[in-house]
Amino acid sequence: MKQYIQNNQDRFFEELFSLLRIPSVSSKEVHRPDMFRCAERLCELLLEAGADCAQVCPTEGHPVVFGSRIVDPSFKTVLVYGHYDVQPVEPLELWKSNPFEPEIRDGAIYARGANDDKGQLFMHIKAFEFLVREGKLRHNVKFIFEGEEEIGSPSLAKWAAENKEKLSADIILVSDTTMISETVPSINCGMRGLSYVEVKVTGPDKDLHSGHYGGAVANPINVLCDMISSLIDKDGRITVKGFYDDVVELSREDRAKLARAPFDLDEYMNFLDIRQVKGEKGYTTMERTGIRPCLDVNGIWGGYTGEGAKTVLPSEAHAKISMRLVPNQDSETITRLFEEHFKSIAPDYVKVEVTPHHGGNGFLIPISSEAYQAASKAMTEVYGIEPVPSRGGGSIPILADLQKILGIDPLLMGFGLERDTIHSPNESYLLKQLFSGMEAIALFYKYY
């Protein structure tokens, strides 16, 4: 495929950039028309690449793109999953170039979605195109690209259940994760689940002058800080009642296996410019993101946040809080436990509201499976070194749902790198990874 990439490189850039230019931010209502434009553009690309059919399928939320090429019903079928929606781009002032005007700098594409997930799903379309044009496709291939992954995939599970037959396949192939490093390929064999909530703490029913009331009336920001602070104890454990009940402790053996993945703590801290890591007592950094749950405040706001000073004792304080879950923890149960706990710790002098945003369960993939072994061979051929099995800290909640609804295991061949800073300003994707990914995917079809 190397030669094919070289011959078509300019066209590839044009096509990928046409996707990246569409601001398909799923969480913002104003981008609804962009979601449709992006879905339609994907259909065009699928058809040009060799799909028999491709269609924009409406849902209650943003549309799903479905496309397929059925070569021979007796062949194995690969169902490629990806998502065309992206995260918001704020804070805009930290971007070095326009997030929706892709730029190539220092061997990487810079744009929102360059990696997550437009860049990665694009590799699948091009590997497929290569196999079709070279007459080498010996599988049936189906594509589903959703537009709601970044907001918790509220519509895809329902759509998948209604289109179960259409989606029948042997494996769900996904590139939406990272490798350990440029030189250490890895395959994700497990991901964390997610529970995401928003909380609101209300004190007095109006903003007050902090001089007149300060000291006598509970300040909802101070109270929110107290409440958040109490959610994690001094050992880094989450205090929500029942939170760990379903967490399966890994055996010493399994932990040793995962510890084989190379990891340099100093390099990690240097990359983040921090002097110390912090997490649950008794676990390594890789375990803390791989096999242990966690709780993070993703956003907080309240009172006067503008220029200068305002002496206000505000009426309300807000926070967005998410918990990453490990396999066997149920997202809905955890959301319920959080809500109960958070309300139970609210002092009398405030009112508390908890609104669930979205969530999903984690999952595990057997290393012994045929698909995992094919992916491993393919990546070994491209990178010259056998990939290590890893556990991803992030969440693709919909995959656990699809696994359950369709009865098909997912396989996570991700080519992102930490340096890509997805979800952050200046998201990027190395050209080297883009092209190596295409090669590895094409080889996967060879070995699967």
Q: Which of 58, 242, 299, 366 binds a copy of itself (CB under 8 A)?
A: 299
Applying CB under 8 A, among 79, 224, 371, 379 the residue interacting with a copy of itself is 224
Q: Residue from 136, 138, 212, 260 that binds a copy of itself (CB under 8 A)?
A: 212
C-alpha 312: how far from its chain's center? 38
Q: Of 234 and 252, which CB lies nearer to a copy of itself in the complex structure?
A: 234
Single out the residue of 2, 96, 209, 241 in contact with a copy of itself (rule: CB under 8 A).
209
- Binding segment for a copy of itself (CB under 8 A), chosen from 119-127, 219-227, 253-261, 402-410, is 219-227
Neighbours of 163 (CB within 10 A): 16
- Our CB check for a copy of itself shows the closer of 97 and 373 to be 97
For tokens 């295409």, the residue is 438
Which C-beta is closer to a copy of itself: that of 256 or that of 274? 274
Give the dihedral sign, CA 295/296/299/302.
positive
The minimum distance between CB 175 and a copy of itself, in angstroms, equals: 16
Figure out which of the listed residues 18, 98, 289, 380 binds a copy of itself, where binding follows CB under 8 A: 289
Taking CB under 8 A as the rule, does residue 424 contact a copy of itself? yes
| Contact of 14 with 32, CB cutoff 8 Å | no
Please list the residues that pair with 173 across neighbouring strands.
80, 411
C-alpha separations of 55 from 84, 145, 174, 436 in Å = 14, 11, 20, 29
Q: Quick one: which of 285, 333, 380, 403 contacts a copy of itself (CB under 8 A)? A: 285
200 binds a copy of itself, rule: CB under 8 A: no
Of 40 and 182, which has the nearer Cβ to a copy of itself?
Answer: 182
Instruction: Annotate 323-353 with three-state secondary structure.
Output: EEECCCCCHHHHHHHHHHHHHHCCCCCCEEE
- Taking alpha carbons only, the member of 291, 80, 279, 280 closest to residue 189 is 291
Question: Least CB distance from residue 209 to a copy of itself, whole Å?
Answer: 5
Distance from C-alpha of 341 to C-alpha of 103, rounded to nearest angstrom: 47
What are φ and ψ of residue 401, in 5° steps? Answer: -65, -45
Strands 312-313, 208-209: parallel, antiparallel or unpaired by DSSP? antiparallel
**DSSP of 84-149:** --B----SGGG-SS-TTS-EEETTEEESTTSSTTHHHHHHHHHHHHHHHHTT---SEEEEEEES-G
Per CB under 8 A, the list member of 47, 56, 132, 218 interacting with a copy of itself is 218
Is 278 one of the binding residues for a copy of itself (CB under 8 A)? yes
Sign of the dihedral through C-alpha 329, 330, 333, 335? positive
Is 90 a binding residue for a copy of itself by CB under 8 A? The answer is: yes
Subset of 304-333 contacting a copy of itself (CB under 8 A):
304-314, 317-320, 322, 324
Q: Could you give the string, one character per residue 10-29, with x where binding to a copy of itself holds by CB under 8 A and - elsewhere?
A: -----------------xxx
If one asks whether residue 237 binds a copy of itself (CB under 8 A), the answer comes out as no
- Per CB under 8 A, which region of 40-48, 49-57, 207-215, 240-248 contacts a copy of itself? 207-215
- Residue number, 7 or 349, with CB nearest to a copy of itself: 349
* Residue 71 interacting with a copy of itself (CB under 8 A): no
Q: Considering the complex, what minimum distance in angstroms separates the CB of residue 75 from a copy of itself?
A: 35
Residues in region 105-124 near a copy of itself by CB under 8 A: none
Q: Residue 225, interface with a copy of itself (CB under 8 A)?
A: yes
The smaller minimum CB distance to a copy of itself, of residues 194 and 378, is found at: 194
Please report how close the Cβ of residue 425 comes to a copy of itself at its closest, in angstroms.
Answer: 7
What is the spatial order of strands in the sheet that 103-105 belongs to? 103-105, 108-110, 428-430
Residue 367 touching a copy of itself (CB under 8 A) = no
Q: CB burial class (10 A; 0-12, 13-18, 19+) of residue 351?
A: middle
Query: Cβ 402 to a copy of itself, closest distance in Å?
Result: 18
Least CB distance to a copy of itself at residue 240 (A):
14
Which pair of structure tokens corresponds to residue 313?
Answer: 């004792």
DSSP, res 232: B
Q: Does the protein bind a copy of itself through residue 179 (CB under 8 A)? A: no
Start-to-end C-alpha separation, the chain: 17
Among residues 335, 340, 328, 179, the alpha carbon closest in space to that of 262 is found at: 179
Q: Which stretch binds a copy of itself (CB under 8 A): 8-16, 41-49, 60-68, 85-93?
A: 85-93
Least CB distance from residue 214 to a copy of itself, whole Å?
A: 5
